[in-house]
Amino acid sequence: QVRVVESGGGLVHPGGSLRLSCAASGSNFSPTITGWYREAPGKQREFVAQTTDFDDIIYGKSMEGRVAIFRANAENTVYLQMISLKPDDTAVYSCRVQRGSSVYWGQGIQVTVSS
């Protein structure tokens, strides 16, 4: 069983930056794909970014150019660095970890962009 925990969310002013963390514990089976998704009120969940054990990175259109995903292997953590945040970026951000054919989600973390 894998436990996925997000952290780093909160309130940020427009134009600000925020770094989210996704820590996955438990079985360390590879390959692993770690992705970030977000869901705003009244909208469908959308893909933000993902990375793999081999640093194959894909970014979604929603935040392309304003987000970077990177891994800290020693910490078993994947980070999502977000810059130039806008009020439209307000959402619950969730981490998805796929190991082999198994998928695990974190509980999600609120990011609010407001002045």
For residue range 19-76, list pLDDT tens digits in order: 999 998 876 656 789 999 999 999 999 999 999 988 899 999 989 899 999 988 777 8
Q: For 18-33, how does the pLDDT look when each residue is reduced to its tens digit (9 = 90+)?
A: 999 999 887 665 678 9
| CA 92 to chain CA mean position, Å | 10
Answer left, alpha or beta for residue 109, where phi above 0 means left and psi between -120 and 50 means alpha. Answer: beta
What does DSSP say about strands 58-59 and 2-7: parallel, antiparallel, or unpaired?
unpaired
| CA 114 to chain CA mean position, Å | 20
The answer to whether 82 touches 66, Cβ cutoff 8 Å, is yes
Q: What does the radius of gyration of the chain's CA atoms come to, in whole angstroms?
A: 13
